[in-house]
Amino acid sequence: MKQVLFTIFSIILFLSSFNIVVAQTGDLNNDAQVTSVDALIALKMAVGKISGDPEADMDGDGKVTSIDAYKILLLSLNKTDDLFLQLNRVVRTFDIGRYLTDERMNWIITQDNGAKIKIGVVIKKGKIVEFQQGAIKDPSINVYASGKTVRHLLETQDVNEFKNSLKNGDIRLEGVGFFNWVRISITSFFAGF
């Protein structure tokens, strides 16, 4: 039961150890904006015309491919949220197998303007097999937070911030279905959240 909270807690703690600058994600020509020119540069990296740059690796798989160029193009068209891209790059490098083997989660992040970012996360056998913008079907857990809270956790170096966010309601966990609701409620009660 506590594995779910520990998994989410561990992911956020891991995320909080990184200081990520939004303007640099996908900004390959260093002009402080992400445009189709950056996507073209990433595509040239993908086909080997120019050497790769870690800033072009949008999915965190260690190489620059046409998929990374496509993600940069989507970002330039404002169809992909920068917060999702930040989380995607960090979460892909995090090994959660020791905390959770199988889970289906929707992370719902509410931005300051009221817009919601929905991120679907599927974990099988301790590995993240899906991390997508958009909700997944049949989740076992929904996690609610504000964009401000998530960005704060990404920027802070204080490992207690996630726990504080749970205690004061800035992050809310909700089990989907009766069994998951009971599991999350009991875990939250015993963990003091």
Kind plus residue range of the DSSP H or E element containing 123: strand 116-124
Average pLDDT of span 26-49: 86
CATH number at residue 78: 1.10.1330.10
Mean pLDDT calculated for residue range 63-82? 78
Q: What is the mean pLDDT of residues 16-39?
A: 66
Residues of the chain with pLDDT > 90, as a percent, come to 8
In a domain, residue 108? The reply is yes
> Would the pTM of this model clear 0.85, i.e. be above it?
no
Does residue 179 form part of some domain? yes
CB 165 within 8 A of CB 153: yes
Predicted confidence (pLDDT) at residue 160 exceeds the cutoff of 90: no
Q: Could you give the strand order of the β-sheet that contains 171-175, starting from the edge strand earlier in sequence?
A: 127-133, 116-124, 103-110, 141-146, 171-175
The chain-wide mean pLDDT, for the chain, equals 76
3-state helix, strand, coil in the chain (%, to 5): 45, 20, 40
Supply 39's token pair: 């996507």
pLDDT at 162 over 80: no
| Domain membership flag for residue 39 | yes
| Domain boundaries, position 117 | 13-18+98-191
Specify whether 57 is located in the same domain as 105: no
